[in-house]
């Protein structure tokens, strides 16, 4: 029962940490989501929407003349132009019955025969719909109010950059942050595609392999970091927790004898790790055994007081204080 309570407590702490990090991990992604409604107005959540009232039959094909039955085709359905975390941008072109681009005009989009959104076209007659959407298959319809022409298209929504995971690791464990990149059809991209990684405020470029994977090796010293992977306009973020890989303790010290100082290496491949100890203005060196243990015999200071002890493994440093009383 005690173990169960500890496990529940640990899970709760981990959940709270992940939630806090999710709020802070990427202001750019958060801003992209918050700006979704800047270019559209949601009209109706009910099935009885504007497009359904405008046309009982959604027209989705035409002949080469641009005429469908008695209707002039005045919408050219486009494609998904950008992808964010949970957000897509979809564009379509609108014209009047004479084929002239419909400039600065409010048109209507509909998602999955349910929700309607009003969007304004630009000077070229192009309307850009930004919308928060789940992964999967969706239907986008559009209405041209000048002649009530309706058209639609089916789209597949998916994450372009996948596989990013939070990492908890010991320093110098050789862990890598690995992602997989997909093309516009949901297939892995070819080898040599550039992926931009941002780690600890610095940018690094890595290339995909033949299976679409790109990775960034974590070599940072202990600390908590944010990491991002970006391909074109799609960006994901996670955190990396790098823990100290060395732990030390001071054994019993007899008066006038040397100080037995023991250092334990916690990471992988424990044997033959070079450890340094700085104590009382002297530096000591030793290698770990197969169990990851390095033993130091430090010269006992002649005077009483508190002495800073620094244990060093590559970029990792841990400070201890040895107090001697006489």
Q: What CATH number is associated with residue 124?
A: 2.60.40.10
Mean pLDDT computed over every residue of the chain? 81
Instruction: Quote the pLDDT of residue 119.
Output: 95
Domain match, 124 and 170 both: no
Indicate the burial class of 39 (C-beta count within 10 angstroms; 0-12, 13-18, 19 or more): middle
The sign of the dihedral angle between the CA atoms of 267, 25, 319, 311 is positive
Indicate the burial class of 103 (C-beta count within 10 angstroms; 0-12, 13-18, 19 or more): middle
Q: Mean of the pLDDT values across residues 124-141?
A: 93
Domain match, 67 and 8 both: no
Domain match, 309 and 269 both: yes
pLDDT of 326 strictly over 70: no
The sign of the dihedral angle between the CA atoms of 186, 128, 136, 32 is positive
Q: When comparing pLDDT for 266 and 3, which is higher?
A: 266
How many domains in the chain?
4
Q: When comparing pLDDT for 72 and 181, which is higher?
A: 181
Cβ contacts of residue 240 below 8 Å, gap of 6+?
A: 166, 167, 169, 177, 199, 218, 220, 224, 225, 226, 227
CA dihedral 301, 305, 306, 310 (to 10 degrees): -20
Domain match, 153 and 168 both: no
Domain match, 68 and 107 both: yes
Domain match, 166 and 143 both: no
Task: State how far the Cα of 248 lies from the Cα of 264, in Å rounded to an integer.
Answer: 6
pTM over 0.95: no
Instruction: Quote the pLDDT of residue 24.
Output: 43
Query: In terms of residue numbers, what domain contains 14?
Result: 1-34
Domain match, 30 and 44 both: no
Please state the φ and ψ torsions of residue 180, each to the nearest 5 degrees: -120, 135
Task: State how far the Cα of 81 lies from the Cα of 98, in Å rounded to an integer.
Answer: 27
Domain match, 7 and 79 both: no
pLDDT of 4 strictly over 50: no
pLDDT of 18 strictly over 50: no
Q: When comparing pLDDT for 46 and 134, which is higher?
A: 134
Q: Which of 102, 131, 157 is the last residue of a domain?
A: 157
Q: Which of 221, 243, 265 is the last residue of a domain?
A: 243
Count of C-beta atoms within a 10 Å radius of residue 242: 23
Domain match, 41 and 142 both: yes
Specify whether the CB–CB gap between 118 and 111 falls below 8 A.
no
Count of C-beta atoms within a 10 Å radius of residue 9: 10
The secondary structure of the chain in percent helix, strand, coil, rounded to multiples of 5, reads 10, 50, 40
Domain match, 45 and 85 both: yes
Domain match, 92 and 42 both: yes
Question: Long-range contacts of range 222-225, CB-CB < 8 Å, 24 or more positions apart?
Answer: 222/171, 222/316, 225/199, 225/200
Domain match, 118 and 26 both: no
Q: Mean of the pLDDT values across residues 165-174?
A: 95
Task: State how far the Cα of 205 lies from the Cα of 25, in Å rounded to an integer.
Answer: 20
Per-residue DSSP letter, 27: H
- How far lies 298's CA from each of 249, 250, 253, 258, in Å? 13, 10, 11, 6
Q: Which of 105, 124, 157 is the last residue of a domain?
A: 157
CA 220 to chain centre: 18
């Amino acid at each position: 029962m005690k173990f169960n309570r500890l496990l529940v407590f640990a899970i709760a702490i981990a959940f709270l940490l992940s939630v806090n990090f999710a709020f802070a991990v990427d202001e750019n992604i958060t801003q992209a989501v918050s700006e979704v409604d800047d270019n559209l107005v949601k009209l109706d959540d009910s099935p009885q929407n504007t497009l359904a009232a405008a046309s009982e039959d959604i027209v989705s094909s035409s002949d080469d003349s641009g005429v469908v039955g008695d209707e002039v085709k005045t919408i050219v359905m486009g494609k998904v132009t950008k992808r964010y975390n949970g957000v897509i941008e979809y564009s379509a072109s609108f014209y009047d019955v004479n084929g002239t681009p419909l400039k600065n005009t409010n048109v209507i989009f509909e998602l999955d025969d349910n929700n309607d959104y009003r969007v304004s076209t630009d000077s070229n007659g192009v309307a850009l719909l930004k919308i928060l959407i789940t992964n999967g298959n969706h239907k986008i319809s559009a209405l041209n109010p000048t002649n009530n022409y309706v058209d639609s298209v089916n789209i597949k929504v998916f994450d372009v950059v996948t596989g990013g995971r939070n990492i908890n690791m010991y320093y110098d464990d050789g862990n890598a942050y690995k992602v997989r990149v997909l093309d516009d059809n949901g297939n892995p991209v070819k080898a040599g595609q550039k992926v931009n990684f941002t780690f600890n405020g610095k940018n690094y470029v890595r290339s995909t392999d033949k299976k679409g994977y790109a990775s960034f090796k974590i070599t940072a010293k202990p600390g908590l970091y944010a990491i991002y992977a970006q391909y074109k306009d799609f960006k994901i973020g996670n955190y990396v927790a790098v823990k100290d890989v060395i732990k030390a303790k001071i054994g019993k010290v007899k008066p006038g004898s040397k100080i037995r100082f023991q250092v334990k290496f916690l990471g992988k491949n424990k044997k033959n790790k070079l450890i340094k100890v700085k104590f009382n203005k002297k530096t000591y060196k030793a290698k770990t055994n197969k169990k990851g243990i390095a033993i130091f015999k430090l010269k006992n200071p002649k005077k009483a007081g508190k002495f800073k002890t620094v244990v060093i493994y590559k970029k990792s440093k841990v400070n201890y204080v040895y107090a001697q009383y006489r």
